[in-house]
Structure 1
Amino acid sequence: MTATSTALAASAAGGDGFYPPGLEEFFPAGIFFVGTPFEMNRIVLVRILAVAVLLLLFYIGLRKARRVPTRRQGLVELAVGFVKTNFADDVLGEQVGRRYMPLLTGTFFGILAMNLTGIIPALNIASTSIFIMPLTFALAVYVAFIYAGIKKHGGFSFFRNQLFLPGVPWPMHFILAPVELINVFIVRPLSLSLRLMLNMLVGHLLMVLCFSATHFFFVTGEDLGILSVFGVVTLAAGVVMTLFEFVIAILQAYVFTLLTAVYIQQSVAEEH
């Protein structure tokens, strides 16, 4: 059951009462393999669907690639070219960017697809609004960040560059090195995860709140009289929030991928 339908059902059950959506809607009951480590709930199924549709679109566009691209191939190449231009080439440079194009492409379109499920009818929830999915993407970035630095500089030089700032008097390193350790290797993946999760979670709650309030004013509310006109306001707010969520879905995928490229660039740079 979606957060929207649950909120509406609660309003209907309460007569003229109004029950806003809560965080419990992001933890639905299991559907398949209940009670096992492979338990799947509605949000897991939405993630699988988003990835399947994404892979299908890329397969359809590139299955018969030609030197002179067809319209479908051209659209896919345009999408991949956007990632190449804005993240790989501009941030990492052509040589390094080519090596990490698969990671950047998968990160951008994977997050985008899972973000957009929040505004698709019948899905109605962003797959990235639960912490585990943003954390999975962030850990992939974390591994790539460390791998890129070690591959470029070797283990000792990489960690030295990350922990010891150039031009700082050596006694200050006793203070700054632990701070850099926490900031680079702990705070960085957590901040990536939380930024994405909280943006999608809060936006979804606001959108559901607007539409459940509209349902209350127009359908379940009793003896509201002239106050029912506020349903027009909440409906308009819901439409605006849906459009806003669409923009946020794209923006969060862009920011996450941009930071991925920036972190990799920092790891391969000669100095911190």
Structure 2
Amino acid sequence: MIAAVLAQQPYPGFEAPDPAHEFNPTPIWEFTLAGIEFAITRITLINWLAVIVVLGFFIAASRKPKVVPGKLQFAGESVYGFVRGSIARDVIGPEGIKFAPYLATFFVFVFANNVMGIIPFAQVAPTAKFAIPLFLAIIVYVWYIGLGIMRQGFFTYFKNLVYIPGVPWPLHFMLIPIEIFQKLLSRPFTLAVRLFANMFAGHLLLVVFALGGIYMASQPHLTLKLLSPFSFALAIAMAFFELLVQFLQAYVFTLLAATYLQESVSDGH
């Protein structure tokens, strides 16, 4: 990232490039298909790389399973076991075991894309681009609503979703519209924004500390030059903190998906 910034930086003087440019990079390849314009960008390639890494990891981990697992098999089983036990079973219940493979896929895919934000030469998380979290949120949205309709029936499911039993009937005129907005309209948006905003903000913080170090190192004042290593040190420290955030956001996204699924399989109870 720092090398890229220095390459773009005009001299003499210091004019920092727009950090948001990394989220709207210049297309590498553009084409039209069925009248729709498509563009392959650096973020697209990073996203594809994350998919290849995830597929390669699980294929290699499950290729030759043994009773006494090797390191790779143990890592794959640990990731799946974590999602299966801590999310699928604990949130949904015993029936959640059947959803564990799907939830594990969400968790690993989101984390792999998140962690690209601190991987050298990538250093931008595709999930910091709103389109990817929104697409994932729509998948979860269609999944849990479709499952709810299949399990409970169309009218029963939506009744259980927005009707709160035990509430005085006049309050339903206020509560039902709120429940409709919260559970049917805002959920995919808030699910996507939560992931996108954290990844976007984390990347900008890293850029700020890195650019701050470059700025102070480029100034003639000795005090600023002496302070520049501290800015770089903070950028490194923030990278480790960002790794924790990336894991937590993958966990929260998967946990919320499981929570929504629990509503669909619980018959409203």
The TM-score, its normalising length taken from structure 2, stands at 0.92
Unaligned regions of 5+ residues in structure 1, if any?
none
Q: Which residue of 2 aligns with 1:91?
A: 91
Deviates more, 1:174-183 or 1:251-260: 174-183
Q: Which residue of 1 aligns with 2:234?
A: 237
Would you say 1:249 and 2:208 are equivalent positions? Answer: no
Q: Which residue of 2 aligns with 1:66?
A: 66
Deviates more, 1:149-158 or 1:105-114: 149-158
The amino acid that maps onto 1:161 is N
SS of the aligned residue for 1:29 comes to: coil
Q: Which residue of 1 aligns with 2:120?
A: 121
2:157 and 2:267 in contact (8 A); partners too: no
The amino acid that maps onto 1:61 is A
Tell me, in whole angstroms, the C-alpha distance in 1 between the residues paired with 2:47 and 2:239: 20
Q: Which residue of 2 aligns with 1:191?
A: 190
The amino acid that maps onto 2:222 is G
Would you say 1:159 and 2:158 are equivalent positions? Answer: yes
Tell me, in whole angstroms, the C-alpha distance in 1 between the residues paired with 2:141 and 2:5: 38
Q: Which residue of 1 aligns with 2:172?
A: 173
Tell me, in whole angstroms, the C-alpha distance in 2 between the residues paired with 1:195 and 1:38: 27
Tell me, in whole angstroms, the C-alpha distance in 2 between the residues paired with 1:199 and 1:264: 24
The amino acid that maps onto 1:15 is P
When residues 169 and 154 of structure 1 are mapped into structure 2, their CA distance, relative to the original with a 3 A threshold, is same
Tell me, in whole angstroms, the C-alpha distance in 2 between the residues paired with 1:79 and 1:21: 37
The amino acid that maps onto 2:99 is Y
The TM-score, its normalising length taken from structure 1, stands at 0.91
Tell me, in whole angstroms, the C-alpha distance in 2 between the residues paired with 1:9 and 1:210: 17
1:21 and 1:208 in contact (8 A); partners too: no
SS of the aligned residue for 2:237 comes to: helix
When residues 147 and 199 of structure 1 are mapped into structure 2, their CA distance, relative to the original with a 3 A threshold, is same
Would you say 1:75 and 2:75 are equivalent positions? Answer: yes
How far apart are 1:270 and its partner, in Å? 3.2
Aligned sequence identity (%): 37
| Per-residue deviation, residues 122-159 of structure 1 (Å, max 9, x unmatched) | 00101100111101111111112112212221111100
Aligned pairs, number: 266
Unaligned regions of 5+ residues in structure 2, if any?
none
Tell me, in whole angstroms, the C-alpha distance in 2 between the residues paired with 1:38 and 1:216: 37
| Per-residue deviation, residues 155-188 of structure 1 (Å, max 9, x unmatched) | 1110000111111233332322221111101111
How far apart are 1:71 and its partner, in Å? 2.7
When residues 69 and 22 of structure 1 are mapped into structure 2, their CA distance, relative to the original with a 3 A threshold, is closer
Q: Supply the RMSD in Å over aligned alpha carbons.
A: 1.8
1:200-211 → structure 2 map (5 Å cutoff):
200-211=199-210
